[in-house]
Structure 1
């Protein structure tokens, strides 16, 4: 049998071990450990370039997540992140004095680094007055975009474009006329991409967006309306239809500056 004194000694040893485990001091970070903020700033900038590489199909929220690490990393790395991130922002209500999403009201020092932006028009109606307001806001802001994509995704807004009579409807004709004839040059945008808003008929797409095809013009009176084909009075952009196979719904219209196009041909 164990002597009571031995049991007492054993209990003391076990208790002391448990106390040491609960009061163990945390390890301190040594200055020579591979800790990011201990790395020279020049090396950190190279790391940021590697981390914020091409985003591919990655969403902007996932691509920018490393910026949430700490304030110092944010201020050092946001330039690399904004330059390569592809922002997709919705506009779902035309109410209010401004149509552009709230993120575009960041300080100009940050917005000037954005290069790729997509606005998804999620309003119920394709109101050309509101759409033109949006383009004006973007053209007067601090953005310097390599590519701006404007897409219509809401089914209610796409329905007129999906119809066989798409070139006849007023809102589709107004949208096509604004894009092809009235949209002014934007000095701060090098290229505008407009994916097909659900059009599945080749002839309908050509009447609305093909630069070398005529469009429908409605005239006459309410009692005796007339419809005729008329050549588009193209604006100051260079208009190119990019065909991705035979599915018209995957086609897109690209608007580029003539000067930029000449530079690419020269190189």
Structure 2
């Protein structure tokens, strides 16, 4: 009797262990199936996003985040409504014939342009919000530009980019009153002088590591022209830099700051 009871308990214990093992295996298989399903869904979503970016031309730059943010006046935060001006982008959304196009200006609501004109989607625009601080479904605004913003607010409102095929095309004395080149041979910015009788349009020309001399020599039409002849002024904004050369992006910031201060002194 004792042997039979022992064998019966052993059999029950074995069956119990077998059930636990089977349940554990099923649970592991279930978890693995969920993980595989999740991974498959994620891969599918990434593929869809990639296709969408390719179809819309929305490619993320590989160098994103490598440069320090400018934090310029026109780079407003999403909750900053201290001024009625914003930079925005035209949305690809249908609008009625008598309504203006929709624009994303980085706020919680879209903006409807009061200007009844057609603008291609994804176009960057400067707008002035006309119903800021009111309760409405959308913001309303009109097209503006950097010059108007500066005239009304006194704030610097960014820069524009233009492409030129040659240096000679850039050095146009019909467009600029003073053309200034940067060079180690140049005078200190504090000694720079311009005619202050009228407002002046100033062009600053930066060379690469080899300087503006190499840029002139590289262009056939200006190869025989010396920097002193091509520019009204040659300035050196980093006379005590302690290195043989400087990065252009560093020189740009330093020179713009020094030239701005010097012009303010001359026109004050």
Q: Which has the higher helix share?
A: 1
State the TM-score, normalized to the length of structure 2: 0.29
